[in-house]
Structures are given as structure tokens and as C-alpha cells.
Amino acid sequence: MKLAVVVQRYGADISGGAELHARYVAEHLARHVDLDVLTTCARDYVTWRDEIPSGVERVNGISVFRFPVDHTRRPRAFARHSERVFEHRHSLADELAWLDSEGPTSPALVRHVKAVQAEYDYFIFFSYRYYHAYYGIRAVPSKALLVPTAERDPAIGISLFQPIFRSARAIMYNSHEERAMIRAVSGNADVPGVVVGVGSEVPDRVQPERFRRKLNVRTRFAIYVGRIDENKGCKELFDFFLRYLTRMPSDLTLALIGSSVLPIPPHPRIRYLGSLSDEDKFDAIAAADVLIMPSYYESLSMVALEAWALGRPVLANGRCDVLRGQCLRSNAGLYYDNYDEFAEALYRVQTDRALAEALGQNGRRFYCQHYAWPIIERKYLDVLDQLQAEDRRARRAAPLEPLPGWFARRQKTLAPARGVMNQLPAGPAMDGRTGKDRDHG
């Protein structure tokens, strides 16, 4: 079997969530099947500027084919299109313009996918919201598997993507919440879908004391790992944590790891450690009392999974359905919707060692049962085997719905994407259904 992973960026030094996910999956599947990666020459996810030469290169033993991007992203045009599509009644042409302005617009990549479709058995497209996935799946619908990495943001309400969700041969979801959301928005219940997620390269042995010595961290601390950005909930985290320090009797420090695009409050109990190596990062997580995950939008939090793999409890933002669902399903993390819950939950985890230990143990068990690499690989291979069996029986997916005509595309009949998103079922998916009401009960 020969596979192609198609993703917007790819590289050993590219650590974005979906891109890292794609690389991990590609490297692990390459142990079982023949696999190539098709991607763009971009490195920066904001500009999508061509920074890596086009052509073929080897990354960790995998052939990577790179194709140039037609134009960089123009932020003003993208903002204007986003405003129109997310907030106002609009047309299909507006959505296509939005997709084009979002980038990375690489027709060469799509042309290549179409040209080499006979060489590959299946194409695994990552991130539904980008140009390569939309046009790539339209090019080879009968061989397309989709890893949507969808979050609960307005892009999910764009009508352009609904035929894509219905036409892919199979969808590999990151979480139950993501599956419920995509099924609700597109009605693709008959498309084979598996909740897979992704594993992590967690080392077998970690040394928390080495981290403490190396970075001179002597107190107990909570940790945040990731981009320090307002969109990731860090501003709220700082606000909550500073209030927590003034109102609760605590000796806890907040350690921050990752690149920062947000000013960090100058406070002796907030320590910014910068970007660390993977070894130091895992040591730090293992040394922490708790990992805090303040993000509102996640399709799957790899950091939370890493913390669980290392036996540490997680305190997550409960307004993110996926994180909340993971905490509930794993029984390995607490969550908060507001400051009061943040303070109480953090205080509980900090003061009740037995509880923290138990949460950590549950997390380790949850990780081993669902997110260990052998399990992830098995799920992918099972789906591929199932598709091959269907192909042998000449059972193919439904044909892709054609795009409407020139005039129909320009009729402003589509509802604002944000409104569509707001109407989708919310809350953690427990046993295949969403359950916000029971959660607040």
C-alpha cells in the first residue's frame, strides 16, 4: 500500500499542532506502508511565504515533495473576507474568496495530487480549512481520507466544507466532540469515522530533579506549555492566577514554556522559561504539580495528553468542549468555566496530594489505553484495510457534489458562519452524545 500525507506545512522544525500531528502520523505509518508527504514551501503559517525550496527532500527518512505557494496572505483582505463570511449573509463566491485569501494557495500542489493519484492508494489530508484540503479532496475524492483537526471556531460554519465532509472516504477525528460537531454541521453520519487522535513521543524516563536543578526551580509550580497567546487563553490565565495568588493561601508558581506573543505580567510567582528542548519540556511537566490548559479552542490537546502520559493532572478550560470531554472521559483532570472554579480546582489539586496522584494515575491509564502509538497506528491501518476491502467490492463513497453555477455562486443566500457554529450542539460528548446540560446539572 502506498500513501500520501498532504499537509499545509511540513518539517522537523515546524511544531504547529496539525503539522506536528501530521509528521508524527506520517513517521509512524511509514513503518508499515510506503508513504510520501506532499506539502508547500511555506514555513510561516501567517504569511505562507515560500521559505523552503520546492522539490523533494528527506525528512526523518520520509520523502517530502514541496510545491510553491501562489501568493502570500494579505492580512487586510483576509480580515475583510473573514468578516463578510463569518458575520454576514454571503455567497459561495465569498467563501471561495475567503479560502483563497486564507492560504496557503498552492494550485501546483493540487495539480500534483491529481496527476499522481494513480500512484497512491490513498491520500490523507490534514486540516480541513485550508486550500490544499478543499481542492485536494475535490481532486481525488475516492482516495481521500481527512484528518479535519477542527475546532469550534466560525470556519466550521462555512458551507463550502460540508460537501468535503460528506465526500471523503473516511474521517479520522481527534475527539468525540469534533466528530459530533462535524456530523451536526454536515450530516455525514454515513461516512466512516474513527476517533483516533495522536500519540506523543514521551520518553520512558524523565528526570524532574534535573529540570529543577538546571533552571533553578525550587518551589512547587503549575505549568503551561504552548504558545503564550491571547487566543490560547493565556491572558485569562494570567488574570486568574494573579487573583488566585492574592486570594488563596498558596505558594504555587506558574511556569510558562513556549514562545511568547503576549506580554507576561512581571510577578515573582510567574516564571517564563522560554522555549525548551523536548527533554527539558518533559522533565518540566513531570516536575509540575499540575498542567494548566487555558485554551478555548482545541481539537486535541497534545500537551494535555503528554501530561497524562507522565502521570500529572490537568486543569483545563471547561469552555473548550474537547478539553472538558477529555477530562471527564479520562477522570484525569479538573476544569473551570470561571475564576471561582479555577481557584477552587487549582487549590484542590495543589493541596490534596492524594487526589492529584489519583488524577495522574487515571491520566496515565487513559493515555496508554487510547493514545499510545501502537493503538493509533492500529486504528489507521484498520481503516485503510477496511477501505481496501470496500474498493475490492467496488463500493465507493458518494460522488462529490458539484459546485453551483456562476450565478448561483454569487447569490447571497448563505447564513453567517458564526451563526451556524452557534447552532451546533455544544458540550462534551459522553458516550457519543453531547451533554452540556448534564454537565451543568
Partner 1 sequence: MADFSIRSDSVNVEEIMGQIRARIREKRGVDYTEQEIRELAAVKLEKFLDPTKVRSDLLEQFRQLQRQQLSPNIELDEETLFGSPRSWVRRARRWLRPILKLFLNPVPLMRASRVNETMVRHAELFYELVHNLVVETTRLGIEVKTLKMRVESLSSRLDFDERRARALEGVVQYRPATPAQEAAPGAARKDEDEAEAESGASRGRRRRRRRGRRGGGQRGGAEESAATGDTAQAAREDRPRAEAPPAGEGEPGDRSVGHAPPPETTRDVTATPASTRSEPPPREAGHAPEQDPGDREPGS
Residue 377 engages partner 1 in binding (rule: CB under 8 A): no
> Using CB atoms within 10 A of its CB, is residue 328 exposed (0-12), middle (13-18) or buried (19+)?
middle
Segment interacting with partner 1 (CB under 8 A) among 109-117, 121-129, 347-355, 410-418: 347-355
CB nearer to partner 1: pick between 74 and 247: 247
328 binds partner 1 (CB under 8 A): yes
The region of 20-28, 159-167, 340-348, 374-382 touching partner 1 under the rule CB under 8 A is 340-348
Decide: is 338 part of the binding site for partner 1 (CB under 8 A): yes
CB 414 to partner 1: min, Å? 30
- Among 341, 377, 390, 391, which residue sits at the site for partner 1 (rule: CB under 8 A)? 341
Cα separation, 148 vs 49, in Å, equals 23
- Residue of 116, 361, 372, 373 interacting with partner 1 (CB under 8 A): 361
Give whole-number Cα distances, 228 to 255, 274, 277, in Å.
11, 10, 17
Partners of residue 292 on adjacent β-strands: 315
Helix (H, G, I), strand (E, B) or coil at 200: coil
Length of the chain in terms of residues written? 441
Rounded Cα distance between 9 and 391, Å, is 30
List 231, 275, 331, 388, residue binding partner 1 (CB under 8 A): 331
The answer to whether 9 and 39 are in contact (CB under 8 A) is yes
Q: How far is the CB of 333 from partner 1 (least distance, A)?
A: 7
Largest CA distance in the chain: 67
Nearer to partner 1, 155 or 315 (CB): 315
Q: Does 358 bind partner 1 (CB under 8 A)?
A: yes
273 or 358, CB closer to partner 1? 358
- The count of residues interacting with partner 1 (CB under 8 A) is 29
- When the beta carbons of 67 and 371 are compared against partner 1, the nearer one is 371
Task: Please report how many Cα atoms fall inside a 13 Å half-sphere around the Cα of residue 213, on the Cβ side.
Answer: 4
What Å distances lie between residue 336 and 164, 353, 428, CA to CA?
Answer: 34, 19, 13
Nearer to partner 1 (CB atom), residue 149 or residue 330: 330
The reply to whether 332 sits near partner 1 by the rule CB under 8 A is yes
- Which is closer to partner 1, CB of 47 or CB of 361? 361
What is the CB-side half-sphere exposure of residue 1 using CA atoms within 13 A?
Answer: 22
Which residues are registered as beta bridge partners of 255? 223, 271
Does the footprint of partner 1 cover residue 362 (CB under 8 A)? yes
Comparing CB distances to partner 1, the nearer of 71 and 353 is 353
Q: Least distance to partner 1 from the beta carbon of 144, Å?
A: 37
Does position 439 bind partner 1 by CB under 8 A? yes
- To partner 1, the closest distance from the beta carbon of 362 in angstroms equals 6
Does 54 interact with partner 1 (rule: CB under 8 A)?
no
Rounded (5°) CA angle 394-398-400: 125
Q: Are strands 62-67 and 55-59 parallel, antiparallel or unpaired?
A: antiparallel
- Minimum distance from CB of 323 to partner 1 (Å)? 12
Minimum distance from residue 441 beta carbon to partner 1 (Å): 8
Q: How many CA atoms lie within 13 A of 38 on its CB side?
A: 25
Choose between 141 and 427: whose C-beta lies nearer to partner 1. Answer: 427
Whether 133 contacts 164, CB under 8 Å: yes
The piece of 27-35, 92-100, 198-206, 359-367 that touches partner 1 (CB under 8 A) is 359-367
Site for partner 1 in 226-265 (CB under 8 A): 246-249
- Number of Cβ within 10 Å of residue 248's Cβ equals 14
Question: For the chain, what percentages of helix, strand and coil (3-state, to nearest 5) are there?
Answer: 45, 15, 40
Residue 357 touching partner 1 (CB under 8 A): yes
Among 202, 359, 421, 429, binds partner 1 (CB under 8 A): 359
Q: CB under 8 A: which stretch of 185-193, 289-297, 334-342, 383-391 binds partner 1? A: 334-342
Alpha-carbon torsion (258, 260, 264, 267), positive or negative: positive
Residue 331 or 388: the one with the smaller Cβ distance to partner 1 is 331
Q: Is residue 207 within 8 Å of 276, Cβ to Cβ?
A: no
Number of CB atoms found within 10 A of residue 118's CB: 8
**Residue 226 vs 333, nearer CB to partner 1:** 333
Q: Which three cell numbers stand for residue 153?
A: 471556531
Bridge partners (DSSP) of residue 171 are 146, 193
Q: Does 344 bind partner 1 (CB under 8 A)?
A: yes
Instruction: Tell me the C-alpha distance between 144 and 124, whole Å.
Output: 6
Binding site for partner 1 (CB under 8 A): 246-249, 327-328, 330-335, 337-338, 340-341, 344-345, 348, 351-352, 354-355, 357-359, 361-362, 439
